[in-house]
Amino acid sequence: MSIFRCDCKPNCRRRPYAEVFFPTTKEKDGYWIYACYWHFLILRLKRFDGKISFGWCKIDTDRERIEDIEELLWDIWGDLFEIKEKLGIETENPEILKMLDKPKKNK
């Protein structure tokens, strides 16, 4: 997820607090949205009044951020691989290969 923000309103820039699942109805399939803390409270009040029904789970924001960083790293690695191919670089640096082959010492 490259854009990690509240989905309740297009201009809401707050960090998501919960993932909210709206169940399948006759008109449309179920779907998930991210909701910031304040929009989540509004949705819970509507659910309490019986206007809507949904399920939810709290978001592990650290996990989401780590996945975003991991995706970016894979993209950068792919770009570097393409650059390496276009420049005709075929061999790896022997010093780097030696460092990768050494077992790590437990301290």
In whole angstroms, what separates CA 68 from the centre of its chain? 5
In a domain, 7, yes or no: no
Pairwise pLDDT comparison (28 vs 79), residue with the higher score: 79
Q: Mean pLDDT, to the nearest integer, of 61-87? A: 82
- The yes-or-no verdict on residue 41 having pLDDT over 60 is yes
Residue 106: pLDDT band (50, 70, 90) is low
In a domain, 106, yes or no: no
In a domain, 107, yes or no: no
- Which of 20-24, 35-39, 94-98 is predicted with the least confidence, judged by mean pLDDT? 94-98
**Whole-prediction pTM:** 0.49
In a domain, 13, yes or no: no
pLDDT at 19: 85
In a domain, 48, yes or no: yes
In a domain, 3, yes or no: no
- The yes-or-no verdict on residue 25 having pLDDT over 70 is yes
- The yes-or-no verdict on residue 107 having pLDDT over 80 is no
The parent domain of residue 95 ranges over: 18-101
In a domain, 71, yes or no: yes
Indicate the number of domains in the chain.
Answer: 1
- The yes-or-no verdict on residue 2 having pLDDT over 50 is no
